[in-house]
Amino acid sequence: MAGAVLFLALFASLAVLSAHNRLDVDSETRGLVGLTRGPGLDAPMQAVTQLGQAAGLVPLIAGTSLLLWRHHRRWALQLPVIMAGTGVLQVAAKWAVDRPRPNLAPWGYPSGHVLSLLVFLGVVVYLLNSAPIRRRWRRGGTGLAAIVLLAVAFSRLYLDMHWLSDLGGGFALGMAYLLFSIWAIEATRGWSLRPVAVRPAEPVAPLALDGESTGLTRRIRPLVQ
């Protein structure tokens, strides 16, 4: 929760600065990314950016939920709910800030691609690092998730769809939402809506010795003495 609050404060700070156009790094980054543009990168960047849109995220969410169903049924049900929340969250944030994109299209801050993909990959990395698997698989999965997120973020700059601060806002808000979601799900683990019925303890009947047991006791007693 402390981490979620800190990232939420970072998101609000970036929102205020970007709304007043006080970030010179946005213009500088846009100029540097413009130097990388070329006919050979247009198609790859268009393909990569699809991973942060509904066309790319929905199949990933559905496939991941199916894989989690056997061993992590709770997370398999919660993942689509969490990702639906990202859609509502980014629309509300974009409407509240209402900052234009570099290409003058509306609603640039924060980047919905970065926000949504970070939450999805964050949940996957969290579950991966909680699973009883080898360390190299955990590191490999975490590294792959970071590469995918950075590639999609760069594609948004390359396609002139976002400022650098838009990506920072998406990252900050996504981290706040991700940490809160993990905290909420783990905190409610084991909760049940049905009251647990507790049976009263049954009285234990005293041990009664039958005739055969009594006779055996009489035969053993002289030996003990």
- Distance (Å) of CA 90 to CA 86, 87, 103, 197: 6, 5, 19, 43
Report the 10 Å Cβ neighbour count for 142: 16
Instruction: Tell me how far apart the alpha carbons of residues 15 and 93 are, in angstroms, rounded to a whole number.
Output: 9
CB 113 within 8 A of CB 94: no
More confidently predicted of 210 and 40: 40
The pLDDT value recorded for residue 186 is: 85
Q: Mean pLDDT throughout 57-70?
A: 92
What are the domain boundaries of the chain?
Answer: 2-187
pLDDT band at 225 (very low <50, low <70, confident <90, very high): very low
User: In whole numbers, what is the pLDDT of the chain averaged over residues?
Assistant: 85
**Is residue 198 predicted with pLDDT exceeding 80?**
no
CB 107 within 8 A of CB 98: yes
Contacts of 224 (CB under 8 A, 6+ apart): none
Of the listed ranges 52-66, 130-144, 186-200, the least confidently predicted one is 186-200
Instruction: Tell me how far apart the alpha carbons of residues 86 and 83 are, in angstroms, rounded to a whole number.
Output: 5
Instruction: Tell me how far apart the alpha carbons of residues 222 and 198 are, in angstroms, rounded to a whole number.
Output: 48
